[in-house]
Structure formats: structure tokens, C-alpha cells
A and B are shown apart, each in its own frame.
Chain A
């Protein structure tokens, strides 16, 4: 065998080396190729998350209530900055707080995150500086009105839904986040490359609510004025379309600004007399009473199971219609004796009390309605007077909507429709009848009874001149620490507007008012103001064509001649101590029906007073002149020339109360407020 030459050995080694090299290369490329490709990808590219834009929340008319806005959050790595002076100048120009400017100048700080969110245009010069690391953040813009925010809810800094619609419809609103990969340059900064890839973020769906923002503002303003004027601890207003169940407005206010819950659905209260119509409806439905059936009401005082039940409007006898009209506790307790405990319970349960309404908002309270087995011997009487039961304002409005729409209990709607980002309707709310709770004829009778409450009963202050309003007032003692506190009331009024074919059911509830407490005296005027403002508003979810048919034909009543000033002024006047339900209405000049004498012979037919409708002496009505821009002297002269007496007060600007244009009888006293 020939010995291989040294050259041959060298060749052989080289060949082996080449083979090994090829084998290694083949291994790395063919077997481990994917591993190396992935490693290279990780080194050359990096992925950056793209937050999805959260869906907008719109009102019923399409106006944006909540929307998303892309903002920039800045983080600065001082070590990477070449010229710290330039960075500081750019930060000052961008209006960044001094403490963050100091932070980036602090020796040893490697990373400074500024929590403020900026518009990109405002910090554009900063973004060009090396060492400044921006990250896109989707910011949520909420309405300024606190009441609306209680409905829409909020999200936290990390984009997590906290409450309201934001929480209830989070899966619909939040969308799907995307990502983008960027090529990495030698300094580690990302740049776009044709080789990059990513997924496009999918924006959230757009949610349209049934809320009418114009009406919502009217309610919030009216509520704020009422709560402030009456020194109440809070209040709620809910307006519902009784034919569809759409919640048109839902305003809540609490004296404590930290209370941000939507109390119209979370805070049950004892409704007091606003519950009586449902007992009357149950009596009519079961044929246990007629509206004109008269019963002894014992001059407004009755003892029952060791407890005295009293009336504000005392009378010896009353019909069922008058029991509702004058809110007789004795009368409703006596009539309700014709219903068994089970029937009372079932009536109230069927009308929706004691269970959630199903509105798609979180934390809705069910209220309290106890089974008859858990009643005490006074519960039956308490219940029909609106005590020992707790309902939310929304439940009460929904229940009254059943009276307004002919007897159907509807599921309240707050979400009108949901649209995908490309505009396709993915959900549209439909009116859903939960159950029929009273026959149509009974609902019609109840509407007539409720009309009498406003026309000549306990809530005349809710009435309008051109339109008829129906409704029921309620005044209930409030419980604190398990006890009914003296002088601490919930005043409420539920109104149906117009009385025929109602378009609104309006609930006004005021908690612990200090300047008055009867629902008919302080909650009814707020309802009247809401309706008036809605009539004057461009769009407040009113069918004006339908209203034309509801305009009063007979406006010859005395109060039709007298205009009332704005409710703020009325509420302010109510501040005077209220003696009782018979307090003289400070503004409406129409004679309030005198309460029936406490001692009425029991053998005579009781004729309760009705609103004065006879001929009236013509009153010399004059419009309060326009004084804006005048000197005080000229304004006084103008007011005297118009036939008014003038009282001077001081304030922030020159203005007249009642406002200019108000019709008042000649010789009336008007207040002229002069600037300090």
C-alpha cells in the first residue's frame, strides 16, 4: 500500500474540513434553520402593541357623549440624551411640570416616566430628541356633566372599565388590540421596514344610548338648582318614554361630591304616597272598589293595631278617586283592607318592585319587598302607604309608565343600538313588554285619577297652563340608623306629560330637603320646570305633532292669566318655612282649594273642593320691562312706568325678578337687583 504523500494528507484534511463545514452549514440551515431565523427576527425586529380605540358612546340623537382620543405618554432615559440642555428647553416649551424637568436632571436617574398624557402635536419637538421614548395611549374623553358620567361610567388609567355603560358593555366597547413590528437600528430605535408585519387593531363598537342629552342637561340643571335651593342632601330625576321604555334622562346629585354612583338605580327609597295608585289599580282590577265609591276616612285619623294613621287633608268620607287626589292615608288603608296580604304583595311584585328591572347597567338594586310571611301586624297598612318597601327611582318610573301606556310593564331601555366600526348595526333595542299589570280600562281610570291630583289635589304646582299634567306626589319619612327621623323626608313626584297620551313619565325625588318637604310643594315644581324647559328646547325627545292635540282647549282658568317665574325663583321662595300642605303657593295666584273642614257631619255627602274654574275678574296684566344695559335709576323709572312696585336688592349684575317679559298684575312687587 502506497503511503499517502503529505500533500495528499493536506488535501484530505482540507476536504474533510470542507465536508464538515458543509455538514455544519447544512445542519444549521436545514435542521436548525427555523431556530436561527427566529433568533435573527428577535434581534432585528421588535413588536410594539397598538391599543385599540375604545368605541364611542353616543346619545339618542347621535351626539358624542364619550369618545377616545390618542395621546402620548413620555418616558425619558437621561443617559441616552446627548444634550440635556436642549431636552430641558423642549420640556419647558411643552409645558411639562417642573418636578419632571428636575427629575431628568437628577444625577443617577436612568428612567423618568411622566404620567401626564400629551397631544402629540404639543410635544412634537421633544419626540425628535434621542432618549425620549413615547408610547401611544388611548385616552377617554368624558362629558363634563357629572350626571351623565354616572350613566356612561369610567375606565381607569390602565383602560379597565370601572362602572356604568363602560363596564356593562366593556366587551363590545374595548375592541381588539393590534401590534406592529419595527426593524431595530443600531441604536435600538425602531423604524419601519417593508419586511415588518403586524396586526391591525380593531376599534370597539359604537354604542348609542336612549338618553337625550338636551333633556339630560335640563334635568341635571333643574336638579342641581333644587338640591341647592332646598338644602337637600341629594336627589334624582328620571324621565322615561312610557311607550317604549326608553330612559330619556337620568340625573342624580348628591351633596357629597365623592358620591358618583348612579343612585337612580342603586339607591332604593321608601316611596310614600307615590305607591298608592298601584293599590287603587289593584282594587279596580279585581273589582273590589269603584273610583266613585265612598268610604269613611274618620276625619283623617284612625287607630289601627296600636298605631295612629293620619291624613294631611282631613275629611270624614272620601271616594277612592279623592283618596288618590288628596293622598289620604286613612282612605287607602281602609280600601286596601279589601285585598289580602298575598294580593297586595303580588300586586307590588308584579309591578316590578323587589326585583331588578333588567336595565343593562351594573349594580342595579332590587329594592325591598318582603314576603307576607315576614310582615308584622302593621306592615299591611304601612305597605299601602309606601312604607316598609324600598324601590329605586327607575323602578318607580317604570311602574308609572305602565299606567301611562295602558297597563304594560316594560323593560327599561338605556342602550338604543350598537354599531360595528364599519357602521353595521349589530344590536338594536326593541321594546319588550315584561307583563301586563293592569287592564287598559284600569290604566285609563288611573290616568284620570292622577290628572285630578295635579288639577286640584296635592300636586297643583306641577300643572301647566296650556297642557294637562297628571301625576302623584309622595312624602315619606327617611330612615337613618333603623329609625324614622323627625323632619327628615323624601319628597317625590311622578308626573305624566301630557296627561292624555303621555310622552314623558318624569320622577323627581329630593332627599332630606331642609326648606320644605311635601312632594307636591317642592318636587312638583321641579317637574313643571323640566317639562317647560323641554317644551322650549330644540330637541328634547318630544313629539310636537302629538302635543298639538294635547293643548288645553279651556284655558280660562285664573292661573292661565298669570305667568310664573322660572323655578329657581319659585324654589327660592319656597324657602320660607312651610307650615303644611296648605301653604299658600307663593307664585301661582290661582286659589288653592281650601282643605275640607276636619268636622264634617258623617251623614252628608262629602264634596271635596275642585279647582276654581268659574268666571274671573279680568286682571290688568303687564310685562316686566327689559332692563338689561340700563342704569339703576333708568331701570327703576322703567319699572314704575310699567306700573310695578320696585324693591332694590344687591347682586352681581343688574337684573329683575321675575325676569323681563313675565306677565304680572299691575302693582305687583318686582325685585331689581343692582350690582354691588
Chain B
């Protein structure tokens, strides 16, 4: 009887270890798939960010806005007399 118990326990332990190994691998597959999916999503969002930043840059560029400002708003590049350069206030001066 003792011998049979030992064999039974050994078999049970073997099955348990086998199950643990399979569970660990399955868990690994699932997690790595999730991680890869998130990495792809991150890359996709980063690509979209780059595109949107580029669009903003183009839309706010002088080449785009300058023409519009001059034609539609009548704006122009100021003469140098119209540009006032303020001297930097010294740190001990009060406003």
C-alpha cells in the first residue's frame, strides 16, 4: 500500500508539474501577444502623432500663414522703425 501511494503521489506530482509548465507557457504566449499588440498600438499612435505634428507645423508655417495674413487681413512685415526692442530689465529693478 505504501509503495502504491508513493507511485500515485509521484504521478500526481508529475501531472501537476506538467500542468504548471503548460500553464506557464500558455500564460507567456497570451502575455507576449498582448505586449506585442500594445507595442504595435504605441507605434501606430506615435506615427499618427508625427503626422499630426507635421500637419500643425505646415499649417502654422510662415509660408502658409504669411500669404493669408497679407491677402485676407492686410497684414505686412513691419518696418524696422515699428519694431521696439525692449532692454532686458535688471534683476534688482522692480517692475
Contact of B77 among A217, A536, A544, A560 (CB under 8 A): A536
Nearest CB to that of B83 among chain A residues? Answer: A535
Are B61 and A145 in contact (CB-based, < 8 A)?
yes
Contact of A69 among B25, B28, B47, B85 (CB under 8 A): B47
Are A626 and B40 in contact (CB-based, < 8 A)?
no
Are A121 and B44 in contact (CB-based, < 8 A)?
yes
Q: Does B95 have its Cβ within 8 Å of any Cβ on chain A?
A: no
Are B80 and A465 in contact (CB-based, < 8 A)?
yes
Q: How far is the CA of A105 from the CA of B85 in the complex (A)?
A: 67
Q: Mark B38-59 against chain A: 1 for CB-CB distance below 8 A, else 0.
A: 0010011111101101100110
Answer whether A218 and B33 are a contact pair too, CB < 8 Å, given A70-B46, A655-B71. no
Are A465 and B66 in contact (CB-based, < 8 A)?
no
Residues of A within 8 A of B53 (CB): 64
Q: Does A620 have its Cβ within 8 Å of any Cβ on chain B?
A: no
Q: Does B79 have its Cβ within 8 Å of any Cβ on chain A?
A: yes
Tell me the minimal C-beta distance from A590 to chain B in angstroms: 14
Nearest CB to that of A569 among chain B residues? Answer: B76
Residues of A within 8 A of B70 (CB): 566, 568, 659
Q: How far is the CA of A591 from the CA of B66 in the complex (A)?
A: 32
Q: Mark A445-483 against chain B: 1 for CB-CB distance below 8 A, else 0.
A: 000000000000000000011110000000000000000
Q: How many A-B residue pairs have CB under 8 A?
A: 121
Nearest CB to that of B40 among chain A residues? Answer: A120
Q: Does B3 have its Cβ within 8 Å of any Cβ on chain A?
A: no
Nearest CB to that of A469 among chain B residues? Answer: B80
Are A563 and B85 in contact (CB-based, < 8 A)?
no
Q: Does B8 have its Cβ within 8 Å of any Cβ on chain A?
A: no
Are B44 and A467 in contact (CB-based, < 8 A)?
no
Q: How many residues of B contact A (CB 8 A)?
A: 41
Answer whether A661 and B76 are a contact pair too, CB < 8 Å, given A69-B47, A69-B50, A192-B36. yes
Are A563 and B35 in contact (CB-based, < 8 A)?
no
Answer whether A466 and B81 are a contact pair too, CB < 8 Å, given A119-B51, A660-B74. yes
Q: How far is the CA of A191 from the CA of B34 in the complex (A)?
A: 11
Nearest CB to that of A145 among chain B residues? Answer: B63
Tell me the minimal C-beta distance from A134 to chain B in angstroms: 10
Residues of A within 8 A of B63 (CB): 144-145, 217, 220-221
Residues of A within 8 A of B36 (CB): 192
Tell me the minimal C-beta distance from A573 to chain B in angstroms: 15
Are A545 and B88 in contact (CB-based, < 8 A)?
yes
- Of A70, A136, A564, chain B has the most CB atoms within 10 Å of the CB of A70
Residues of B within 8 A of A192 (CB): 29, 32-33, 35-36
Answer whether A653 and B81 are a contact pair too, CB < 8 Å, given A145-B63, A191-B29, A192-B35. no
Nearest CB to that of B32 among chain A residues? Answer: A192
Q: Does A548 have its Cβ within 8 Å of any Cβ on chain B?
A: yes
Which residues 602-625 of A have a CB within 8 angstroms of B? none
Q: Does A308 have its Cβ within 8 Å of any Cβ on chain B?
A: no
Are A120 and B50 in contact (CB-based, < 8 A)?
no
Tell me the minimal C-beta distance from B28 to chain A in angstroms: 3
Tell me the minimal C-beta distance from B67 to chain A in angstroms: 9
Q: Does B20 have its Cβ within 8 Å of any Cβ on chain A?
A: no
Q: Does B73 have its Cβ within 8 Å of any Cβ on chain A?
A: yes
Are A565 and B76 in contact (CB-based, < 8 A)?
yes
Are A628 and B74 in contact (CB-based, < 8 A)?
yes
Q: How far is the CA of A569 from the CA of B30 in the complex (A)?
A: 68
Nearest CB to that of A467 among chain B residues? Answer: B80
Contact of B48 among A119, A218, A566, A658 (CB under 8 A): A119
Are A656 and B32 in contact (CB-based, < 8 A)?
no
Are B88 and A626 in contact (CB-based, < 8 A)?
no
Are B75 and A194 in contact (CB-based, < 8 A)?
no
Q: Mark A495-526 against chain B: 1 for CB-CB distance below 8 A, else 0.
A: 00000000000000000000000000000000
Are A532 and B80 in contact (CB-based, < 8 A)?
yes
Q: Does A9 have its Cβ within 8 Å of any Cβ on chain B?
A: no
Q: Does A529 have its Cβ within 8 Å of any Cβ on chain B?
A: yes
- Of B36, B62, B66, B72, chain A has the most CB atoms within 10 Å of the CB of B62
Q: How far is the CA of A306 from the CA of B67 in the complex (A)?
A: 52
Tell me the minimal C-beta distance from B4 to chain A in angstroms: 29
Are B80 and A466 in contact (CB-based, < 8 A)?
yes
Q: How far is the CA of A563 from the CA of B77 in the complex (A)?
A: 12
Tell me the minimal C-beta distance from A660 to chain B in angstroms: 5
Residues of A within 8 A of B71 (CB): 652-653, 655
Answer whether A536 and B83 are a contact pair too, CB < 8 Å, given A141-B51, A194-B32. yes
Q: Does A547 have its Cβ within 8 Å of any Cβ on chain B?
A: yes
Q: How far is the CA of A531 from the CA of B81 in the complex (A)?
A: 12
Q: How far is the CA of A563 from the CA of B79 in the complex (A)?
A: 7
Are B28 and A659 in contact (CB-based, < 8 A)?
no
Which residues 125-173 of A have a CB within 8 angstroms of B? 136, 141, 143-145
Q: Mark A96-108 against chain B: 1 for CB-CB distance below 8 A, else 0.
A: 0000000000000
Are A119 and B47 in contact (CB-based, < 8 A)?
yes
Are B77 and A141 in contact (CB-based, < 8 A)?
no
Q: How far is the CA of A655 from the CA of B73 in the complex (A)?
A: 8
Residues of A within 8 A of B50 (CB): 67-69, 141
Are B29 and A535 in contact (CB-based, < 8 A)?
no
- Of B50, B54, B71, B80, chain A has the most CB atoms within 10 Å of the CB of B80
Contact of A144 among B58, B74, B76, B82 (CB under 8 A): B58
Residues of B within 8 A of A68 (CB): 50
Which residues 89-126 of A have a CB within 8 angstroms of B? 119-121
Q: How far is the CA of A535 from the CA of B81 in the complex (A)?
A: 10
Are A532 and B32 in contact (CB-based, < 8 A)?
no
Q: Mark A213-247 against chain B: 1 for CB-CB distance below 8 A, else 0.
A: 01001101100000000000000000000000000
Q: Mark B13-36 against chain A: 1 for CB-CB distance below 8 A, else 0.
A: 000000000000100110011011
Q: How far is the CA of A533 from the CA of B53 in the complex (A)?
A: 25
Nearest CB to that of B49 among chain A residues? Answer: A69
Are B79 and A119 in contact (CB-based, < 8 A)?
no
Contact of A659 among B33, B44, B75 (CB under 8 A): B75
Answer whether A194 and B25 are a contact pair too, CB < 8 Å, given A69-B47, A221-B63, A548-B87. yes
Residues of A within 8 A of B82 (CB): 536, 563, 661
Q: Does A334 have its Cβ within 8 Å of any Cβ on chain B?
A: no
Are B85 and A548 in contact (CB-based, < 8 A)?
yes
Residues of A within 8 A of B (CB): 63-64, 67-71, 119-121, 136, 141, 143-145, 191-194, 196, 214, 217-218, 220-221, 464-467, 529, 531-533, 535-536, 544-545, 547-548, 551, 560, 563-568, 626-628, 652-653, 655-656, 658-662
A-B CB proximity, top 10 nearest: A194-B28, A192-B32, A120-B44, A217-B62, A659-B76, A69-B50, A566-B76, A464-B80, A69-B47, A466-B80
23 sample A-B contacts, Cβ–Cβ < 8 Å, listed by A number: A63-B57, A67-B54, A68-B50, A69-B51, A70-B44, A119-B44, A119-B47, A121-B44, A141-B50, A144-B63, A194-B25, A194-B29, A532-B78, A532-B79, A545-B87, A547-B85, A566-B76, A626-B74, A627-B74, A628-B72, A659-B74, A659-B75, A660-B74
